[in-house]
Structures are given as structure tokens and as C-alpha cells.
Amino acid sequence: MDLTLVVLAAGMGSRYGGNKQLDGIGPNGEIIMDYSIHDAINAGFTKVVFIIRTDLKDAFDEHYKNRFNGKIKMEYAFQNEYTEHTAAYEADRKKPWGTTHAILAAKHLINEPFVVINADDYYGQESFGEVVTAMRNLKENEYLIMGYSLVNTLSDHGTVNRGVCQVKDEMTLTGIKETLAISKNGNDITYEEDGVKHSLAPDTYVSMNFLGFPVSALSLFEEKFIDFVKENHTNPKSECFVPAEMDNLMNEGKATIRVVPTSASWLGVTYQEDKPFVVSGISKMIADGKYPEEIK
């Protein structure tokens, strides 16, 4: 089964304070997504598509000129060049249009079932084997979300945004909400909406943008993005999030979404202060023999 890994790497990294996608965290300059690609290759993925900005291409070329040669096909898509449905509004738009827009920028490169990940999240070795097993059993118009426990995805150094999942029997999704500015204070996990503070349970399943789709999902996402642009083009900060559009398609009866609980450990870099924790985690896995000293 051919599988494409789509890596969302066009983000600005504003909260982090730099280009975190290419910030080395391994002993030989490895970046977070190197470990994800290593795990994807071992799990059986056949291609990776990086969604980046055009100004990052030279840096990506330099980083990958001697890595993974002959192990997996690599291609680029450029989110800032994809203006098929937004050209009339680009002059007044500085912020990217969101993750749905990013995936559509790569639609011409995706011809098989695909899995989406963030460039700046470490998803764990086991999760790639788990998602491949789930993708092999994927039904038409069925999508997958790898489900992580909320408590394992928070930062000690600021708030995070998460797609909060509601599930019913057999882990079928009933709803997903892009929840902003989630924070923890001791054992309390909260977010604020419309001036009201809400609590979340530590074992709440959340989406970390580790998602699986049949190729037919692309046309449905495009329809949703066109509608989003028509309704939101006057708001320069509006973004079309993939989890929100998955929720819309599910509510319209066009998709069924299954949450796949993962046993893997998650590490992520949202703020500069998160980096030492990630570096330490990767170093321990190398010492434990889970990764080679050099990813290549």
C-alpha cells in the first residue's frame, strides 16, 4: 500500500520566536521532523511532501541533501504560492489561510491515501505503525485521528491550541472543537471562551494534527475551503482549520471519523523554553537504543 506523509512546515513559529521547523534538537543537527520521517520510513510510507514557504526551500534543500537518500521520495508544495481560491484577497492578507489551505497546496502531489503531521511535533515511534495499520483498514469516506491524551500534550511555558475530540462507542468521533489557549495550573487544565473559563479532563482525547485520509478527501476539503473564503475573506486573521472542516463533513454525513488511541509519547516545541525538554527526551531515546546516533 502506497502512503504519503504530508508535513505541515509553513508555519511562522511566532510564539517560538524563530524558525522552529529547522531548529536542531538531535546530536547531529537533526530536527524534529527527521525523527518523524525516520519512523514513517520504518512503518512503510513511500513518499513525503513538505508544505513550506518558498523562502524556506533553500534551507530544506541544504538540510536534506544527504539525508534519507533513496529511502523515501521527497517533494515540496508551497503554501504561499497556492492562491487558486484566494487571489482576489491576497493583497490585504498577511496571515496564512490555515491548515486546510496548506493541504490543498499539495493536492497535485497526493495520489494515494495520506497522513498529515505537524513539522514541530514528535509523535512517537509506535504511532506510525499504529496509523499504517489503521490506514490499511480505512473505508471510503472514513478519516482517522490519532488520539493523544490532553495531559501529555501541554507546555509548561504557555498556552496551546488543540482539537478536542468527543467520541462514542468503538472510538467513533461525534465532535471536534479547535480549542484555543489551553493552559495548565497544577492539576487544573482550562481554557477561556467568551470570557468564561472551562475545565478539561486530563485524559481528554485531542488531535495533534496527526490525521489520515483517503485521497477522495481532497475534493471535499476544497469545497469547504471555497465556502470558507467566501464567508471569511473580510477577516484578515481567519484560518480554515482541518479539524473544523472534518467536523463539518461529519455533521453533513459526508465522512465518518475514527479516533485511534496511540500508546506513543508526544513531544512538541511551541515555545523556546520547550526545547531543552525535547532535546533531553530525544537524547534518552538514543541512549535507550530507540534511535541511531545519527539520522540519515
Condensed to tens digits (0 to 9), the pLDDT of residues 27-62 reads: 999 999 999 999 999 999 999 999 999 988 998 999
CA distance 193 to 268: 24
pTM score above 0.75: yes
Give dist(CA 78, CA 4) in Å, integer. 17
Residue-wise pLDDT for 110-146, tens only, equals 999 999 999 989 999 999 999 999 999 998 899 999 9
Q: Is pLDDT of 14 > 50? A: no
Between 68 and 16, name the one with better pLDDT: 68
List the chain domain ranges.
4-287
Q: Rounded to whole angstroms, what are the CA distances from 185 to 10, 157, 158? A: 31, 11, 11
Q: Which fold has domain 4-287?
A: Spore Coat Polysaccharide Biosynthesis Protein SpsA; Chain A (3.90.550)
The residues, ordered by sequence, that sit 6+ positions from 156 with a Cβ below 8 Å of its Cβ are: 184, 273, 274, 277
